[in-house]
Amino acid sequence: MLENKKIILAEKDIPTQWYNMQADLPTPLDPYINPRTGKPATKDELCQIFPEPIVNQELSTERWIDIPEEVRDVYKLWRPSPLIRARNLEKFLDTPAKIYFKNEGVSPSGSHKSNSAIAQAYYNMKAGTKRIATETGAGQWGSALAMACKMFGIECVVYMVKVSFQQKPYRKSLMQVYGANVFASPSVQTEAGRKVLEKDPNCNGSLGIAISEAIEDVVTHQNAKYALGSVLNHVALHQTIIGLEAKKQMEIAGEYPDIVIACLGGGSNFSGMAFPFIMDKINGTHKNLRAIAAEPSACPKLSKGVYAYDFGDLSGFTPAIKMYTLSHTFMPSGIHAGGLRYHGASPLVSAIVKAKLAESTVIKQTEAFEAAVTFARCEGILPAPESSHAIRAAINEALIAKEEGKAKTILFNLSGHGHFDLTAYDSYLSGNMQDCDFSQEEVNKALKDLPKIAE
Ligand SMILES: *Cc1c(COP(=O)(O)O)cnc(C)c1O
């Protein structure tokens, strides 16, 4: 008999509501703090850079939030995404574990980031936004937002860290195909960029500078707003479509996972995959579920960071956020999984980990690529370097299950494909890739820069 490999839902089965983890937290989130007033950031302050419907979602504690018809309609371009049983990988590992993965690499921009980009562009369109400015590092978020803005008739301006602009020209080209205006940051478009260039005309740029440019762009243009691709509550909310679909698909397979796994950069794809399952852990229907966030050894904020108020960006423009952090001034080394090089973890993921409802594991870069190549050879899909951290963690758990002789069910999220990351694969295959672990000494130094917020 031929066994099923993938479980595909119909378009009508796309969830009609997102799940809001804020409704079920053991204790409510600590508020964002405006560092200039020392007081909780007000809704009006947040509305200066985000449209009101997004701010409402950011602060909402309603358990279920409707997904607008127009958003579901664009989602249909690639959703529901397939759930696949990695039978070849199971055979290769000779494990009794069953390994399932959700493939978010099938989105037009190639990663889960489109799930939030589409929703954010829609609410901005509704709120009358004509222009969205954002920053992008490796270019995943920029390409997702560029496509989303085109779908809803909004001008998109992307400040792309200059070194990535030069090293990843095809991500830039993709954004331009979708009609976005892409500037290498620091740029001459903004006062912030010109200042940096005056001092250092050859500056390579950083996410911190790019954020400053994007925010200046927003405050100097009419009907302009800012959009962020991870970390914040509304982004985590939009991503829960991943886990909600996966739950339906697992049910069709007659399964419920013992372990769910996703990689963690700012925390949005982990939130998306894990929160709908953690809901069941909290309400007692699946107490023993384990949720594991796979972090890079170069930037392990959940495993090695402190739980404290910190800024979201290098320059300290954002409100202070209570989260696990290695400090906003910590510079992780240049691993290929650029999407995981963020100093903090989303406040929701941080709260869940603090409450011991999820755990983290640390993966070295070479271990991740070894797993990625094994996965590609077994299942045919070339994973993004970020996603490869989740694959490594899943393989590790499958090998533990083999040792214990237990038929555990493991579900992981394949957050994106690696078609734009072949330079990184070249480096791995030629034996030139190195592990770049973080230095506790540098983190300790950076932790001195945490903002002083009275709690
Ligand atoms: C951006 C990105 C990540 C990390 O971001 P999260 O917000 O933690 O999900 C992971 N995988 C891919 C493919 C990405 O593009």
Cβ of 272 closer than 6 Å to ligand 1, yes or no, is: no
Question: Has residue 423 been placed in a domain?
Answer: yes
- Residue 445 binned pLDDT confidence (cut-offs 50, 70, 90): very high
What's residue 163's pLDDT? 87
Residues 292 and 313 in one domain: yes
Ligand 1 center–CA 269 separation, angstroms: 6
The reply to whether 388 and 340 lie within a common domain is yes
Instruction: Give residue 245's pLDDT.
Output: 98
Verify that 344 and 384 share a domain, yes or no.
yes
Please indicate whether residue 269, judged by its CB atom, sits closer than 6 Å to ligand 1.
yes
Whether 134 and 147 share a structural domain: yes
Q: Which residues lie across from 183 on neighbouring strands?
A: 159
Query: Which among 233, 254, 279 is the end of a domain?
Result: 233
User: Using a 6 Å cutoff on CB, does residue 117 contact ligand 1?
Assistant: no
Quote the ligand 1 centre to 105 CA distance (angstroms). 11
Section 376-393 average pLDDT: 98
Mean pLDDT value across the chain = 95
Mean pLDDT of the 161-168 span: 88
The number of folded domains in the chain is: 2
Question: For residue 137, is pLDDT > 90?
Answer: no
- Geometric angle at alpha carbon 292, from 425 and 96, rounded to 5°: 80
| pLDDT per position as a tens digit, 212-222 | 899 999 999 99
Q: Is the same domain home to 187 and 336?
A: no
Closest protein CA for atom 13 of ligand 1: 416
Q: Whose CA is nearest to atom 10 of ligand 1?
A: 386
Is the CB of residue 95 below 6 angstroms from any atom belonging to ligand 1? no
| For residue 26, pLDDT beyond 90 | yes
CATH code at position 164: 3.40.50.1100
More confident residue, 331 or 243: 243
Residue 1 is predicted with a pLDDT of 58
Taking the centre of ligand 1 as the mean of its atom positions, its distance from the CA of residue 141, in whole angstroms, is: 9
How far apart CA 88 and CA 230 sit, in angstroms, is 32
pLDDT tier for residue 442 given thresholds of 50, 70 and 90: very high
pLDDT tens digit sequence for 185-213:
999 999 999 999 999 999 988 888 898 89
254 Cβ contact list (under 8 Å, min separation 6): none
Widest distance between CA atoms in the chain: 69
Mutate which of 171, 241, 268, 392 to test ligand 1's pocket (most atoms within 8 Å of Cβ)? 268
Nearest residue by C-alpha to atom 14 in ligand 1: 339
Give 359 Cα–ligand 1 centroid separation in angstroms: 18
Task: Say if CB 347 and CB 31 are below 8 A apart.
Answer: no
- List C-alpha distances in Å: 116 to 30, 107, 126, 207, 228: 23, 12, 15, 20, 9
From the CA of 61, how far away is ligand 1's center (Å)?
25
| Cα–Cα distance for residue pair 86/75, rounded to 1 Å | 25
Residues 58 and 133 in one domain: yes
Out of 208, 233, 258, pick the residue that ends a domain: 233
* 198 and 159 in a common domain: yes
For the segment 226-245, the average pLDDT, to the nearest whole number, is 97
Instruction: Looking at the structure, tell me whether residues 98 and 57 fall in a common domain.
Output: no
How high is the pLDDT of residue 435?
A: 93
Per-residue pLDDT, averaged over 177-183, amounts to 98
CB 339 within 8 A of CB 265: yes
Residue identifier of the C-alpha nearest atom 15 of ligand 1: 140
Is any ligand 1 atom within 6 A of the Cβ of residue 33?
no
427 in the same domain as 353: yes
Q: What is the pLDDT of residue 2?
A: 65
- Pick the residue whose CA is nearest to atom 4 on ligand 1: 265
Give the distance (Å) from ligand 1 centre to CA of residue 415: 6
**Mean pLDDT across 380-392:** 98
Q: Which two tokens stand for residue 341?
A: 């090089």
The per-residue pLDDT for range 273-329, each reduced to its tens digit, is 999 999 999 999 999 999 999 999 999 999 999 999 999 887 788 899 999 999 999
Residues 291 and 405 in one domain: yes
Atom of ligand 1 lying closest to residue 271 CA: 9
For position 432, what pLDDT does the model report? Answer: 94
Q: Which structural domain range is residue 387 located in? A: 6-13+80-110+242-447
Domain boundary among 202, 233, 264: 233
d(CA 289, CA 397): 13
Residue percentage of the chain with pLDDT more than 90:
89
